Amino acid sequence: MTLQRFEELTREALDSLPAWVLERMENVEVMIEDEAPGGSRSLLGRYEGIPLTRRNSGYSGVMPDRIALYRFNIERASGPSEAALRTRISHTVAHEVAHYFGISDDRLREIGQY
């Protein structure tokens, strides 16, 4: 899979999020990196920043939050099928956006979305 195609699938995943989610997302960048930090082979994505639930009136002038997708791990976990890759990217994007909204991994497990 080319990086360009991976980027296209990532844009599709972002564009397919509900309108209310897209309207609330601000000061967040979505990045594609080849490898996860420390060479982790299981980490598909990571959210870094201040979740919406922890922002207050003093939130201003901060660097953008960051969602990273780890391309090689997502591709490896998806196998050769582009349909499987599309599904895995969409799930990873939704998972990391949930963290942006302040939803923890424990809560995602509770609702069957981990």
The string of pLDDT tens digits covering residues 38-93 is: 999 999 999 999 999 998 888 888 899 999 999 999 999 999 999 999 999 999 99
Domain boundaries, given as residue ranges, for the chain = 3-110
pTM, two decimals, is 0.92
Give 111 or 97, the one with higher predicted confidence: 97
Provide CATH code, domain 3-110.
3.30.2010.20
Does the pLDDT of residue 114 top 80, yes or no?
no
By percentage, how much of the chain surpasses pLDDT 70? 100
By percentage, how much of the chain surpasses pLDDT 90? 83
CA distance 13 to 73: 17
